[in-house]
Amino acid sequence: MLRLFIAVELDPEIRERLAAIHECLPASTVRWVRPENLHLTLKFLGEVPQERILQIREALERVAHQHSPLEFVLEGVGAFPDFKRPAVLWVGVSSGQEALRRLARHLERELEGLGARPDKRGFLGHVTLGRVTRPGQAPLPEQAIRSLASGPLGTGRVAEFCLFSSQLQPTGPVYSVLHRFPLGAPAQAALRPGDSGPHIRRRSGVPPRRTRD
C-alpha cells in the first residue's frame, strides 16, 4: 500500500516569502513546514494498493491533458478552526481559486471510479504553513501574523501537478514525487519512465483538516 496525494509544487521565491511568516512566532509555538516542502494539495488519496497505480496515472494523465496552465495568487493568512482556537495555520488563494477548483473537481470525478473518497467539504485552495503545538489552549497573535502577510505573497504558475507518496517516519512524513503530469501535454507524456523526484522530509506535522497528506 502507498499513501498518496496530488499536489502543486511552489516556486522557491514563494516558499521563501511564506517562510518569513515564521518570524513572528517561536518554533515552540508552531511546528512550521520547511520552506522546501510547502505545496498546494489538490486531492488526498490515502492508502492505495500498488497494483492500482497505473490506473491512477492514466486517470491523472487524462485530466492534465484537458487543462491549460494557470496562475494563482497566494494571499491572506488564516487558522483552522480560527485564531481563538488555532490548530493549523495556512495561507489562502485569492486570484485563481476557481481555476484550481475546476482542476480539483475534475481530478475527483476521474478518481472516484477508482475508489477515491469524495471530499464532502469541497475544495479550498490553500498552503499549510504549520501546526500549533498546543492547539486550542491559547490564541495566537493574529494581528502580528496578518501584518506579515498584509498583501499578496506571490503568484504561482501551475504548469503541472504531481503524484506524491507520503511515508510516515518517526521524524515526520517523507514525501516523494512519483510522477509529474504537465497540463495540456500529449497523452503519453505522463507515462515516461524514470520520472521520480527526490525524497522530501517534512517536520510540520499534520496539515489542516481539508487536506491530510
Nine-digit cell at 60? 491523472
Let me know if residue 187 belongs to a domain: yes
Let me know if residue 210 belongs to a domain: no
Q: How far is 172 from 107, CA to CA, in rounded Å?
A: 27
Q: Which domain holds residue 81?
A: 2-201
Q: How far is 132 from 134, CA to CA, in rounded Å?
A: 6
Let me know if residue 22 belongs to a domain: yes
Let me know if residue 12 belongs to a domain: yes
Let me know if residue 160 belongs to a domain: yes
In the prediction, which pLDDT does 84 show? 81
Low-confidence ranges of the chain (pLDDT < 70): 26-27, 136-139, 144, 148-149, 185-213
3-state SS, 21-49, equals HHHHCCCCCEEECCHHHCEEEEEEEEEEC
Let me know if residue 207 belongs to a domain: no
Looking up cell 467539504, which residue turns up? 121
In the prediction, which pLDDT does 208 show? 41
Nearest C-alpha neighbor of 111 from the set 69, 160, 50, 48: 48
Q: What 3-state class would DSSP assign to 36? A: helix
Cβ neighbours for 74, distance < 8 A, ≥ 6 positions apart: 14, 18, 91, 92, 93, 94, 127, 152, 153, 154, 155, 156
Task: Describe the crossing of helices 53-65 and 97-112 by its angle, rounded to 10 degrees.
Answer: 140
Cα 37 to Cα 69, 80, 81, 91, 155, distances in angstroms: 22, 20, 23, 14, 17
Q: 149 near 173, Cβ under 8 Å?
A: no
For residue 81, cis peptide bond before it (omega within 30 degrees of 0): yes
Nearest C-alpha neighbor of 40 from the set 64, 72, 17: 72
In the prediction, which pLDDT does 200 show? 39
Looking up cell 525524497, which residue turns up? 199
Let me know if residue 34 belongs to a domain: yes
Let me know if residue 211 belongs to a domain: no
Report the half-sphere exposure of 23 (CA within 13 A, side-chain side).
10
In the prediction, which pLDDT does 156 show? 94
In the prediction, which pLDDT does 148 show? 64
Output the domain CATH number for residue 120. 3.90.1140.10
In the prediction, which pLDDT does 196 show? 42
Nearest C-alpha neighbor of 44 from the set 166, 129, 156, 130: 166
Write down the pTM of the prediction.
Answer: 0.81
Catalytic residues: 39, 126
186 DSSP β-pair partners: none
Q: Based on the structure, what is the number of domains in the chain?
A: 1
In the prediction, which pLDDT does 207 show? 40
